[in-house]
Structure 1
Amino acid sequence: MPTLADRIDAVLPQTQCEQCGFHGCRPYAEAIASGAAPINRCPPGGKAGIDILSALLGVSALALDPTHGVEKPRLLARIIEADCIGCTKCIGACPVDAIIGSGKLMHTVVADDCTGCELCVPACPVDCIVLEPMPATQVDIDHADSARAHFNRREARLASRTLAHERDLASRKTATAMSPVEAALARARARKQEGPP
């Protein structure tokens, strides 16, 4: 049975834009469910989203809190490829892995995966990202569900990478107290426990 946070998360737009002050839609949903945050901090959801949350929770609707942004049409990011320097900063900023490319090579936005969070725009040091109107077909439940899945996969991947890094640091710290042979064996055991990359 879905929790209250699940039901709130299901009606949020899943832009993962952080305008609400939380790291993604799910943490905001959990804060609303626990009473730690009001229902009016989601500019992408706008008035319609606030009205849905109000009905779901049986509370009065509020005006959108302007300190978290303003309601506006959803936009898609597009990279002006001729101006892209391949710095990868936009890739790191995208919460749903909608930007692909490699260091020192051109990047591009997978338009079908873009949520319009706009987090890539300030990350770009050469201002080669423009925002264009999002097709109405992309502002629906299926797109939101897909964005949620992309965000969750990215978060799991980053958490796994952080854990592996922490294990590596701990292994190296332990290795400094060992002989070179013992250190090599410890690193090999740690890699074996992590499994394939």
Structure 2
Amino acid sequence: MTAIETTLADRIDAVLPQTQCGKCGYPGCRPYAEAIGNGEADINQCPPGGAKGIQLLADLLGVDVKPLNPAFGMERPRLVAVINEAECIGCTKCLPPCPTDAILGANKHMHTVITDLCTGCELCVAPCPMNCIAMVQAANPEWTTADAERARLHYQARNRRMARLEAEKAERQLRQKQMLAKLRSAKNSA
């Protein structure tokens, strides 16, 4: 990828809502931005961005505005997740899919949503075996540039944390293999 393509993807990503919902058909806003920049995706695949987002992308890219492609969903007011805490069993299945760590909870303890961090992506709803997560209209139904930037920062922080945890896990597994090899070697030489 050239510097120009990276810059274009950065500019496209900057106007996307940063909900990281995947409704566009890509695993997040950045991959969608790269696909638009490479000509692999159209500007009308982001339901959270809606008509305003399509207009911003059209202006940025110098292309015609088009309606949201209904195959990717419908535009609607901003939603946030709410957990019925009385029904939550603390299974933690809602935690991994949350792109911004907006859900607070621990195994076998009730969970709650930090609404200021929730992007309304709905990724936590399907994994919940108790069906105790509902999407409700946010107090502020307008998703702002400040909201998008805050979501981007939390998403990036989550990705750094997940990468660090994965590296730590790989290091532990390597140490265990090395220890096991030493034990086998000591056993064989005895």
TM-score interval (norm. to shorter): 0.7 to 0.9
| Closer/same/farther in 2, CA of residues 181 and 137 from structure 1, 3 Å limit | farther
Q: Which residue of 2 aligns with 1:77?
A: 81
Q: 1:159 pairs with 163, 168, 175, which one? A: 163
| One-letter identity of the residue aligned with 2:170 | E
Q: Which residue of 1 aligns with 2:40?
A: 36
Identity %: 51
Q: Which residue of 1 aligns with 2:12?
A: 8
Which 10-residue stretch deviates more, 30-39 or 74-83?
Answer: 30-39
1:128 paired to 2:132:
yes
CA-CA distance at 1:174 after TM superposition: 3.2
Q: 2:100 pairs with 91, 96, 100, which one? A: 96
Instruction: Tell whether the 8 Å contact from 1:15 to 1:116 is kept in structure 2 after alignment.
Output: yes
| One-letter identity of the residue aligned with 1:85 | I
| Closer/same/farther in 2, CA of residues 41 and 102 from structure 1, 3 Å limit | same
When normalised by structure 2's length, the TM-score is 0.88
Deviations 1:87-116 (A, max 9, x none): 111111211000101111111000111111
Select the structure that is richer in helix.
1
When normalised by structure 1's length, the TM-score is 0.85
Q: Which residue of 2 aligns with 1:179?
A: 183
Deviations 1:155-179 (A, max 9, x none): 1111111122223223333333223
| One-letter identity of the residue aligned with 1:111 | T
Instruction: Tell whether the 8 Å contact from 1:112 to 1:138 is kept in structure 2 after alignment.
Output: no
What RMSD over aligned residues (CA atoms) do the two structures have, in Å? 2.1
CA-CA distance at 1:14 after TM superposition: 0.9
1:41-60 counterparts in 2 under 5 A?
Answer: 41-60=45-64
Q: Unaligned regions of 5+ residues in structure 2, if any?
A: none
SS of aligned partner of 1:164: helix
CA distance in 2, matches of 1:171, 1:21: 39
Q: Unaligned regions of 5+ residues in structure 1, if any?
A: 183-197
